[in-house]
Amino acid sequence: MTTAVTIPRHGDTGGRTAVAARARQVVKAYGAGETRVVALDHVDVDIVRGQFTAIMGPSGSGKSTLMHCLAGLDTVTSGQIHLADTEITGLKDKKLTQLRRDRIGFIFQAFNLLPTLNALENITLPMDIAGRKPDAAWLRQVVETVGLAERLKHRPTQLSGGQQQRVAVARALAARPEIIFGDEPTGNLDSRAGAEVLSFLRRSVDELGQTIVMVTHDPVAASYADRVLYLADGSIVDEMRNPTAEQVLDRMKDFDARGRTS
């Protein structure tokens, strides 16, 4: 079940490949024998640099597992995953941790921030852990972009859900990772706050050239992406470029209907 994936060569900058992350024949299975469950079934996917990619699919389709594998949080049963030129499948925990710290940014649905640190400390945490000094000008720009300049000294408990997620976005951007993974980053937000966060993500792609991969089941969220990948039963079954919310919703309904009839 391989989708034709274009490997565009345009927009290649600074000697870096245009593909930020690449999965080849990735299989992720749990259990063995009778109880074997295949979460990812020979998935091939290329994440294009400088694009906003959304991964959609019903519950249990394997969309979160795919993201976890791409981000080096989970191991694969077989297949290869590359982050730029680095093969991350088979890396030891120590190397993987370093890779996540230095080259990947994360935005989770909830529990994104450490309650003991204030907003600014949370934003610079990955760099602090790595022992790197944040680039002050860049940090200021990021903070301004997400509109948090006034609230940097606040603890997470003093921030609203939307503000917390914006801090998480700022943290992901601040270290200038090669790629940011979002796991339902707006799942816990009301539509207004969600829209805010999504437009930040969009802007960071447009204005800062950031690469973003986001798992979501919300068609509206997916409509912010350049490209939507549809997962079902562990395989990529379709993709859509420059989607609108209506198109995504229609496609989803389509899958749902097919799922029921088959």
Partner 1 sequence: MTVWKTSMRNFLAHKGRMALSAVAVLLSVAFVCGTLVFTDTMNTTFDKLFAATSADVTVSPKAAEVTDVPENGKPESLPASVVAEVAGVDGVKKAEGAVSSMAVTLVDSRNKNLGSDTGAPTIAGNWTDNDLRSMEITSGHAPRGPTEAMIDADTAEKHHLTLGDEVRTIAVTGDIKAKISGIAAFTVTNPGAAVVYLDTATAQQKLLGAPDVFTHVSVTAEAGVGDTELKKSVAAALGDPAAYKLQTQKEAADANKDSMGSFLDVMKYAMLGFAGIAFLVGIFLIVNTFSMLVAQRTREIGLMRAIGSSRKQVNRSVLVEAVLLGVVGSVLGVAAGIGLAVGLMKLMGAIGMELSTKDLTIAWTTPVTGLALGIVVTVLAAYVPARRAGKVSPMAALRDAGTPADATSGWIRAGIGLVLTGGGAAGLWAATRVDEASEGSLYLGLGVVLSLIGFIVIGPLLAGAVVRVLGVVVLRLFGPVGRLAERNALRNPRRTGATGAALMIGLALVACLSVVGSSMVASATDELDKSVGTDFIVQSNTGQLIVPQAADAIGKVPGIEHVTNYKVLAAKLTNPDGSTADEHVTAADPTYPQDLRRETVAGDLEKAYGADSMSVGSDYAALHKIEVGDELTVAFKAGDTAKLKVAAITSDDTSVDQGAMYINVTTAERHVAADRMPGNMIMFAAAEDGKEKEAYAALKSSLAAYPQYKVQNQADFKEDLKDQIGQLLNIVYGLLALAIIVAVLGVVNTLALSVVERTREIGLMRAIGLSRRQLRRMIRLESVVIALFGALLGLGLGMGWGTSAQKLLALEGLGVLEIPWPTILTVFVASAFVGLFAALVPAFRAGRMNVLNAIATDG
Interface with partner 1 (CB under 8 A): 59, 64, 68, 71, 73-74, 93-94, 97-98, 100-102, 104-106, 108-117, 121, 125-126, 128-131, 157, 171, 183-184, 187
Q: Could you tell me which residues are beta bridge partners of residue 23?
A: 45, 81
Q: Could you tell me which residues are beta bridge partners of residue 182?
A: 107, 214
For the record, the structure tokens of 251 come out as 């496609």
CA distances for 238 relative to 7, 45, 57, 173, angstroms:
16, 11, 10, 29
**CB of 176 vs partner 1, minimal distance in Å:** 14
Pairing verdict, β 179-183 and 212-215: parallel
Q: What residue type is 166 in one-letter code?
A: R
**CB of 67 vs partner 1, minimal distance in Å:** 11
H or E segment to which residue 23 belongs: strand 19-30
Q: Pick the closer one to partner 1 by CB: 18 or 84.
A: 84
**CB of 250 vs partner 1, minimal distance in Å:** 25
User: How far is Cα 145 from Cα 138, in angstroms, rounded to an integer?
Assistant: 10
**CB of 138 vs partner 1, minimal distance in Å:** 18
Q: Pick the closer one to partner 1 by CB: 171 or 227.
A: 171
